Structure 1
């Protein structure tokens, strides 16, 4: 077994597409890298190994989640390690390029790798003079690099050029050095997202198409051309992470709400989020509620589609884990959680309140309707129904050209149901949701999917 097998525990957040890391330092202490505010998996892994968290490193000011480093500092006394250029407003050890931290046998060396953010650091792990691996955060990632447009369009090219130089610096490391990125498959910080999560310097020299660019200008063009949209909440979290997320002194809970309390919340500007599966939402839901099924991607769509400034009430089912709602919300900065409807839709109806239904049909029953595809641009380009209208889910609140009587579709039905709920809130009462994806719809009609974006209207 190699070093990573023995000492390094990757902690993958499938919903955000990120990896945090727990490094066993061999003496009962551990280093964490890029831990999120949802520390449940990290604490469980540390407890299984009998480890105490001594260091909490952040590679950059994260845009897609709130850092757990401040919380770890509070709870375990961990020393927070981060870039001096980030000017964080809380206690931490501020590191400049080339500075080293003695981990007690192992050494962590800071390498300035701006591009994804201005203050980005990678952390090279050394055992004496032997270079074991590098935590690359949002710099070099598997077969790609992290996006450079999060600080605004006016800085995208400048940061892309910085990213080029950072990747050149990282790939000067020996071939055998392991690469442990934070962003990976499913992350909107990747440009474009990949599938593997870890790699080596040598493997990336041969496989990363961005590293194959013949010069800096080509690299910049390729990177920028790959950038898709990203969740709205990304624009807020970097500054919160710079100031430091609020320390939690108790487990946050989701109170039980009576039906009349939910009514009062909506009357006062709050939002109702229905976390039940798409089919249950379709069968009957609170008018005006937003469908965001509770799954790995819940936090992403909550943060993309709803404001963090209004109270939220949730509708779920008895067998759903309320703590999952809480932690997914908290890790993206949503703390105004009013509670969950006690008794669910049965209690809502028993109180004399109305419900709305949404048509949810399989491909064989979806004929004769305009087809609206709400997937991401890259998904649409990879294969879509001929003649489909493309309106990304994240931009639907501003969409005004949804065809009358449309069937709304995504890959399986969850995002399409979310889209239908948003359209219903804006006055579209005639939408139908496809229970399935484009391949199902095309097969039912003897069609082939087409590639490219020629049919897109987004």
Structure 2
């Protein structure tokens, strides 16, 4: 039996797939530039990657296909109409690749992007499954507004046709999507990363839409905000991502080097409580967690910005490096050696921010920085909704501000952004909305 192993990036909400071809060789579909999971799975299974296929020009991460080609000699496959400017094998609709017993067949499925393809994995005449990228995903279809405003509706109509085509496969056909829960490419929440054609026909609201117009209305109505780097990474992937720098270590920097680094951004990756207890003034709080890369790209819009970091000893510098690199941030200058204690020891100022428990927060002062869809499902009465990504340009009334999110990480980032704008009376609510309601006995407000 063919083994298809999903390798999930929980932060980006995506899955790549390692396909065991049965003879020690493997195919990888939609690999990220961060190949650590691919390498670990291939080594564990005794496999050598000989091919890398991308379903589309990704907007949310840099493809690992060029790295696999340069490092492992893998053949790269992609849509023939994608205009990729690096060595690859372009596939048109219906083209097939002989994988040595198995066959990969390209199906044109435009919608999420104009050049999107799905791949059917075949064993003779039998369809083993479909790699659907950002076309048919669990419970939805991926967004169509990443190319241009003018193309959003035409691509949504193309997405309708693509889903209808995929729905023509047998009901028991496994569906292996790239985008999943947690992706800003419009995947709904949920634990399942894979599905079947039959299940989606029975439960996916978009496949149950009565006609194309209803499909388009539903799809476009589900679109939320997304990080600005989504608008440039597809072109980087079309040109071919540069090979990442060698090594995965952060150079030690003195307090003086950090202080004098013109144009650099100092990112504090420690947990909220550590940042709150003492941090370098004007540093950007972004806790190292699965979503680290998304918020780094959202809040540091220029990937050429030199980056420096503050971390705890138990936080893995390799994780910081690869999270940054997978979205194209390669100018990693180093880390503050000795952390905030070393900074303070040189006589430099240290800033703090109060942390509030649920019972201590005035809802009228709360700025809820969750996504609008999260806010709508339940929020503190009188709280103001400003998504974290929009906070740098938002206008706030004078007076104290309490930032909140779900677990404290985004709220701490928000506090750091407000500090940089000169706000001095900022606190972080460590409780989420449901915990606040439980502690205070008050009901949450819901927005339709």
For this structure pair, what is the TM-score category when the shorter chain's length is used for normalisation? over 0.9
Shift of 1:192: 3.9
Q: Within 5 Å, which residues of 2 pair with 1:436-451?
A: 436-451=431-446
Tell me the distance in 2 between the aligned counterparts of 1:143 and 1:93.
31
Tell me the distance in 1 between the aligned counterparts of 2:281 and 2:430.
21
Report the CA distance shift for 1:26/1:402 in structure 2 as closer, same or farther (over 3 A).
Answer: farther
TM-score (normalizing by structure 1): 0.96
- Residue 400 of structure 1: aligned partner: 395
- Asked if residue 413 in structure 1 is aligned to residue 413 in structure 2, the reply is no
- Asked if residue 309 in structure 1 is aligned to residue 301 in structure 2, the reply is no
Three-state SS of the structure 2 residue aligned to 1:204 is helix
Three-state SS of the structure 2 residue aligned to 1:379 is helix
Tell me the distance in 2 between the aligned counterparts of 1:448 and 1:27.
59
Tell me the distance in 2 between the aligned counterparts of 1:403 and 1:198.
48
Q: Within 5 Å, which residues of 2 pair with 1:182-197?
A: 182-197=178-193
Point out the more displaced range, 249-258 or 308-317: 249-258
- Residue 40 of structure 1: aligned partner: 36
Tell me the distance in 2 between the aligned counterparts of 1:444 and 1:195.
28
| 8 Å CA contact 1:144, 1:193 repeated in 2 | no
| Candidates 219, 224, 227, aligned match of 1:228 | 224
Shift of 1:243: 0.6
Three-state SS of the structure 2 residue aligned to 1:81 is strand
| 8 Å CA contact 1:369, 1:405 repeated in 2 | no
Shift of 1:440: 2.1
Shift of 1:58: 0.3
Shift of 1:154: 1.6
| 8 Å CA contact 1:192, 1:226 repeated in 2 | no
Q: Within 5 Å, which residues of 2 pair with 1:3-402?
A: 3=1, 7-248=3-244, 250-265=246-261, 268-306=262-300, 307-367=302-362, 369-402=364-397
Tell me the distance in 1 between the aligned counterparts of 2:298 and 2:363.
31
Tell me the distance in 1 between the aligned counterparts of 2:364 and 2:310.
30
Shift of 1:233: 1.0
Report the CA distance shift for 1:248/1:412 in structure 2 as closer, same or farther (over 3 A).
Answer: closer
- Residue 456 of structure 1: aligned partner: none
Tell me the distance in 1 between the aligned counterparts of 2:75 and 2:363.
61
| 8 Å CA contact 2:244, 2:325 repeated in 1 | no
| 8 Å CA contact 2:402, 2:428 repeated in 1 | yes
Three-state SS of the structure 1 residue aligned to 2:359 is helix
| 8 Å CA contact 1:292, 1:298 repeated in 2 | yes
Tell me the distance in 1 between the aligned counterparts of 2:94 and 2:220.
29
Q: Count how many residue pairs are aligned between Structure 1 and Structure 2.
A: 447
- Asked if residue 434 in structure 1 is aligned to residue 426 in structure 2, the reply is no
CA deviation map 1:264-288 (0-9, x unaligned): 11xx121110000000000010110
Three-state SS of the structure 1 residue aligned to 2:260 is helix
| 8 Å CA contact 1:177, 1:200 repeated in 2 | yes
Tell me the distance in 1 between the aligned counterparts of 2:271 and 2:187.
30
| 8 Å CA contact 2:181, 2:187 repeated in 1 | no
Runs of 4+ in 1 over 6 A off after TM superposition: none
Tell me the distance in 2 between the aligned counterparts of 1:373 and 1:40.
35
CA deviation map 1:50-87 (0-9, x unaligned): 11101100000000000000000011111001001111
Structure 2's unaligned 5+ residue stretches are: none
| 8 Å CA contact 1:369, 1:406 repeated in 2 | no
TM-score (normalizing by structure 2): 0.98
Tell me the distance in 2 between the aligned counterparts of 1:233 and 1:248.
18
Three-state SS of the structure 2 residue aligned to 1:242 is helix
Shift of 1:193: 4.6
Shift of 1:191: 4.6
RMSD: 1.2
Tell me the distance in 1 between the aligned counterparts of 2:41 and 2:321.
21
| 8 Å CA contact 2:276, 2:355 repeated in 1 | yes
Three-state SS of the structure 1 residue aligned to 2:81 is helix
